[in-house]
Every structure is written in C-alpha cells, then in structure tokens.
Amino acid sequence: MEKLYSVKVTASGGRNGHVKSDDGVIDMDVRMPKGLGGEGGEFANPESLFGAAYSACYDGALNLVARMAKHKIESKTTAQVSIGKESDGGLAIAVQLDIEVKGVEREVAQKLIQEAHQVCPYSKATRNNVEVILNLI
C-alpha cells in the first residue's frame, strides 16, 4: 500500500480512559457504555468512534461512485454499531449502515450503495470479518 495519509491516535486507560490524536483534533475521555456494565453518560466509546468513522468514510465512497457514474445525489449514512457475544464466548461487532440517497431512482441508489461498499476502505477492512448490513432507506 502506498500511504497517502496517516494519523496517530493514542489511547490510555482502555474503555475508561482517554484518546488523543497527535494533531489534537481528537482529545477526549472515553467511557464504558451502560450496556457493557459501565456508568454511561455523555462520553464517546470505541463503538461510537468506529460508527462515526465508518459512516463518514462510506458516505464519501458513495458520493465518489455516484460522481463517477455521473449522478448528482444527496446522501446521509448512519452507522448502527453493535457489540455482542459470539458462540465461543468472545466479543464481536456488527454494523448496519442506514443509507439515504436522494436524486436517483431506488434501483440506481441500490446499485450505488453496493458499489460504494466495494470501494470504501472501512468496508474493505471489515469484509469477511464483521457483519455489515446495507439498508437503503
């Protein structure tokens, strides 16, 4: 891979700690969500940060494939990230991307969301390892 961009983010304290990027853009406490036994509250957690990153990246890929196909669209992608137990007792994540596409017919939108899933680096990284559902709304 030819690197085009890199960012360094450091976590300390795990799920009840702090994350900070080397450029200072991300500099926040993270906490264990209530659903995993934490106190909850208005804090980010690894799943919310992953959801933000995946939805932004996927929506960018969707707009890229639409432009390449000469379609003018408006889109919004919402990532629902879940964490749960697997049959072996370990934990895994699953993602549902709820994708809104305006400006094209539904069957064109369906084709574009599938193409974006092939292009998006987060989709590539999760392929064959994380359940990802594409839901055109």
Residues 32, 44: Cα–Cα separation, whole Å: 9
Domains and CATH numbers, the chain: 1-44 (2.20.25.10), 46-136 (3.30.300.20)
| Residue 110 to residue 33: CA distance in whole angstroms | 33
Q: CA 1, 10, 6: angle at the middle one, nearest 5?
A: 25
**pLDDT tens-place string over residues 8-62:** 999 999 999 999 999 999 999 999 999 999 988 899 999 999 999 999 999 999 9
* C-alpha R_g of the chain: 17
According to DSSP, the residues that pair with 17 across neighbouring strands are 30
Does the reported pTM lie above 0.85? yes
